[in-house]
Amino acid sequence: MQIENTSIEGCFIIKPSVFEDERGAFFESFNQQKFEELTGLAINFVQDNQSISKKGVLRGLHFQKGEYAQAKLVRVIKGEVMDVAVDLRPDSATFGKHVSVILNGENNLQLFVPRGFAHGFITLSAEAIFAYKCDNYYHKSSESGIIYSDPDLDIDWKLSDTEIQLSQKDLVLPFFKELNN
């Protein structure tokens, strides 16, 4: 496992060691001890989630507020997505900035998104199976988000607006400057 820093402190790209032979491939998708050694973070993941999305489905930008904030370790099992994390930490030098990374079932990269970030992804392949670990349980009354098309965030989602599919909930999310952090 290798850790690569991103342009935002606390967000890491994780590259597992993949062992391939004529039978196929094997890799360790998570190892608590190695994760702690390489990141210096003691994270206790308590919930695993998985979604299946068709091309153009954009899920996000989501986060949970207050004591229910979540750190996430995200990856793609099948297909390809562009994954985005937006820094919502008011005291951060990168407040309001985002990092994006292409995750797919071939590169096996993972993105660690710490607490205090909004998170979202868009499916670039015909279908994608997206899996992630959370260090806090889902709490409906603490959920929030930011509209994907926020001009202040200026995220290039790689697909045109006519190709993007959103849930009704994600269509009415507030703008970044409307958040009460």
Residues tagged active-site = 62, 132
Pairing of strands 80-87, 98-104: antiparallel
Contact residues for 8 (Cβ-Cβ < 8 A; gap 6+): 85, 87, 92, 94, 97, 98, 99
Amino acid, single-letter form, for residue 148: Y
Q: Closest by alpha carbon to 45, among 108, 131, 142, 144?
A: 131
CB-CB neighbours of 103 under 10 Å: 25
Contact residues for 173 (Cβ-Cβ < 8 A; gap 6+): 61, 144, 145, 146, 147, 148
Distances in Å between the alpha carbon of 77 and those of 10, 74, 104, 128, 161?
Answer: 23, 10, 7, 7, 26
Decide if 132 contacts 47 (C-beta within 8 A): no
